[in-house]
Amino acid sequence: MANVGVLGAGSWGTALSVLLHDNGHQVTIWSIDKEEVEMLDKRREHQLKLPGVKLSDDIAITGNMEDAITGKDFLVLAVPSPYTRTTARNMSPCVSRGQIIVDVAKGIEESTLKTLSQQIEEEIPQADVAVLSGPSHAEEVGKRLPTTCVIGARTRETAEYLQSMFLNKVFRVYTSPDILGIELGGSLKNVIALAAGIADGLGYGDNTKAALITRGIAEISRLGVKMGGQIETFGGLTGIGDLIVTCASVHSRNRKAGYLIGQGKTMQEAMDEVKMVVEGVYSARAAACLAGKYGVSMPIVTEVNNVLFEGKDPAQAVDDLMLRESRSENKSLLWKD
């Protein structure tokens, strides 16, 4: 049995706390929100973000960060991506050398173009930082529906230790050394999911969705490989797998926000209605900046940025994607004649 601290009590942090408790671990959940702490402690349920998923009475709830960190075998960092750096900075004085931190959020910092693990390593250099990602909506993990994810870590030892901590009959975990590829896949798919939601909001069909998913993974892979990620990662659970579920699922906050934008709402109106952090909005500009920095063509990402930040009509953005200059699907495939 491990002693685990989960920092961040939103839907994903709560679902993973239930999973880890099911595996026999001692779990402490921390939240910065006093009302959230009180609700979880008294109601034993996140009634706003994960209704119907009950917390066992022996899962500890605290608003004291030090209590959630000190003496823990490993930590799960589950705060929304815009708050990763500041939370890590506040954690640092309490984190011991070599203490494992598993980041489970997805995003890229717009101002620095850093992934979340890179931000954590900058703020907590003494930590052993890993990531958990894959097609995994909290609503389904909380209900104990079969799910598969990937642990990325710097060493095989850390990856296999964490694999053993999370693995059970409804939560299968693979390991990978490609932390960068895992994080890029998890972050960039949220931008493509906004596009898929916009298409749904416009009333387009399955053909459009399939095209966005297929060409979206092509864009993600081009950039990811150029940045140093491995092509195998983008064809796996944290690439195409996560992209499919986020573009198609009713649980996806990014798809829902896109859907509302496709129906005519502004970006802010859509985010207000979703009532949770829409991480694709925060990653969209970073993705466009990375595309420019590495000289990679990402037309879907470009049009999502135009809709979000330039006020472009979503239907016009789709038209412009469809009417771009014709080209072959894959330049590496050559004609025999």
Q: What is d(CA 118, CA 96) in angstroms, rounded to the nearest whole number?
A: 18
Q: In terms of C-beta density within 10 A (0-12 exposed, 13-18 middle, 19 or more buried), how is residue 22 classed?
A: middle
At 18, is the secondary structure helix, strand, or coil? helix
pLDDT at 276: 81
Tens-place pLDDT, residues 88-103: 999 999 999 999 999 9
The percent helix, strand, coil of the chain (3-state, each to 5) is 55, 15, 30
Q: Which amino acid is at 181?
A: G
φ, ψ (nearest 5 deg) of residue 130: -130, 175
**Higher-pLDDT residue of 127, 325:** 127
pLDDT at 214: 95
pLDDT band at 162 (very low <50, low <70, confident <90, very high): very high
CB 32 within 8 A of CB 8: no
pLDDT at 232: 97
Which residues lie below 8 Å from residue 313, measured CB to CB, with a gap of 6+?
307
pLDDT at 60: 98
Q: Which amino acid is at 288?
A: A
CB 80 within 8 A of CB 253: no
Query: Do β-strands 128-133 and 147-152 pair in parallel, antiparallel, or remain unpaired?
Result: antiparallel
Look at residue 279 and tell me whether its pLDDT is greater than 90.
no
At 96, is the secondary structure helix, strand, or coil? coil
pLDDT at 327: 82
Token pair 């964490």: residue: 162
* Domains defined along the chain, listed by start: 3-177 (3.40.50.720), 187-322 (1.10.1040.10)
pLDDT at 332: 83
Look at residue 325 and tell me whether its pLDDT is greater than 90.
no
Look at residue 337 and tell me whether its pLDDT is greater than 80.
no
Question: What is the DSSP secondary-structure string of 31-66?
Answer: -S-HHHHHHHHHHSEETTTEEEEEPPTTSEEES-HH
Q: What is d(CA 324, CA 313) in angstroms, rounded to the nearest whole number?
A: 17
Look at residue 324 and tell me whether its pLDDT is greater than 90.
no
Q: What is d(CA 187, CA 177) in angstroms, rounded to the nearest whole number?
A: 17
Q: What is d(CA 226, CA 218) in angstroms, rounded to the nearest whole number?
A: 12
CB 38 within 8 A of CB 77: no
When pLDDT is averaged across residues 6-26 and rounded to a whole number, the result is 97
Query: Do β-strands 26-30 and 74-77 pair in parallel, antiparallel, or remain unpaired?
Result: unpaired
* Mean confidence (pLDDT) of the chain: 95
Which residues lie below 8 Å from residue 293, measured CB to CB, with a gap of 6+?
113
Tens-place pLDDT, residues 215-248: 999 999 999 999 999 999 999 999 999 999 999 9
With residue 168 as reference, give the H or E element that holds it: none
pLDDT at 149: 98
| Long-range contacts, 18-21 (Cβ 8 Å, 24+) | 18/53, 18/55, 18/56, 18/59, 18/141, 18/142, 19/141, 19/166, 19/168, 19/171, 20/76, 20/165, 20/166, 21/55, 21/56, 21/58, 21/59
Task: Show the DSSP H helices in 96-204 as ranges.
Answer: 116-123, 138-142, 156-166, 179-201
Query: Do β-strands 147-152 and 171-176 pair in parallel, antiparallel, or remain unpaired?
Result: parallel
Q: What is d(CA 128, CA 139) in angstroms, rounded to the nearest whole number?
A: 28
pTM for this predicted structure: 0.94
pLDDT at 329: 87
Catalytic site residue 189?
yes
pLDDT band at 151 (very low <50, low <70, confident <90, very high): very high
Exposure of 118 in the CB half-sphere (CA atoms within 13 A):
13
pLDDT at 330: 84
When pLDDT is averaged across residues 178-195 and rounded to a whole number, the result is 97
Look at residue 121 and tell me whether its pLDDT is greater than 90.
yes
Look at residue 258 and tell me whether its pLDDT is greater than 80.
yes
Tens-place pLDDT, residues 46-100: 999 999 999 999 999 999 999 999 999 999 999 999 999 999 999 999 999 999 9
Catalytic residue among 72, 106, 189, 209: 189
pLDDT band at 336 (very low <50, low <70, confident <90, very high): confident
Look at residue 33 and tell me whether its pLDDT is greater than 90.
yes
Q: What is d(CA 113, CA 33) in angstroms, rounded to the nearest whole number?
A: 28
pLDDT at 298: 97
